[in-house]
Amino acid sequence: MTEQEFEKKYGRPPVKHSGDVKTKIYWDRIVIALVLLVLLVFCVVRLIGALIGAFGGGESSSVLPAVNNNKESSSEPEHTGYDFTVCIDPGHGGDDSGAQDKTGKRLEKDDTLNVSLKLRDELEALGVNVAMTRETDEFLTLDEICKKANDSKADLFISIHRNSGDEANKGVEIWVNNHEPESDILLASNILSALDEVGISKNREVGFGFIGDSCSNYQVNRQTHMPSCLVELGFITNDADNKLLDEHIGEYAHAMAQAAVKTAKELGITDENGERLIDEPYLSTKPQWNEKTGTYFTEEGEIYAADALQPVIINDHKYTQTTSAKQDDATNAAAQPPDGTVG
């Protein structure tokens, strides 16, 4: 329409705008819209990831949390609350310092107590009940140690020691009763395997009886009622073994605690969840010590010398060929380890 036509129709000339017309932009509304869009996209991606995890057979997705494939952690107990008792015996103590290193400053009694206290803490962290024959630098006779262990009604007994010998001797060995009870062997084997996994200089295997004399037993393996073992945790006379202990003492304690839990499950003391399966303390099948009579008996009630590998029957009782049960036990209890070793 021309200006003349506009003026003729509306009775006035058309209005003319000067300059460009400015458009107002609402930036706050744009920002809000972008934020909402980002949130929407994020939610959609998470929803898709969840659906893939639910219906895709558990296949991994970049939006799903990573799975821990650590073999060691997967084989260890995933919870606490194991209902069984372990008695820990830190070898030697007080006036009995045990073996010592070549400087004479490092003492077995100190090493055994340090390891034992860490083992106690590891077991208690798993909910295991722990009894200690000593928690300080004190001396106990072997009779007192065995009585403490038996009075604690423990299911397992672990005596910690350090070995001694020529500087070239090294490694870890564990001793059990020479009657070779399966439960005691299982405990010792589990502990040795666990320590070996952490790292030891040499696996000297499980031994039966008394070092240098397979017809005798360590008293703690002879007069304790439960499955027991005596752990020689490396040679205190070997610098490499001492270095390994200093660097891995916490790992060794952790490994032994895991081995104790494993043993309790395998012996049927607890189930996989730590629930106790038996009413009474677990007894080893080794000859059982009767403190009142000073003799030993089996499940069948046969009384004989604790260390007799081939006992003979005298007056309806089993004894060694030359001595009575009481005499034989007194002789063995007084026996001293061969030179260069500790008991």
Catalytic residues: 232
Q: Which residues of 132-154 are buried (b: 16+ CB within 10 A; e: fewer)?
A: bbbeeeeebeeeebbbbbbebeb
Rounded to 5°, the CA angle 144-146-150 comes to 115
CA–CA separation, 150 vs 281, rounded Å? 10
Burial of 49-67, coded b for 16+ CB within 10 Å and e otherwise, reads eeebbeeeeeeeeeeeeee
How many other CB atoms sit within 10 Å of the CB of residue 197? Answer: 13
The rounded distance, in Å, linking the Cα atoms of 19 and 302 is 121
3-state secondary structure of 180: coil
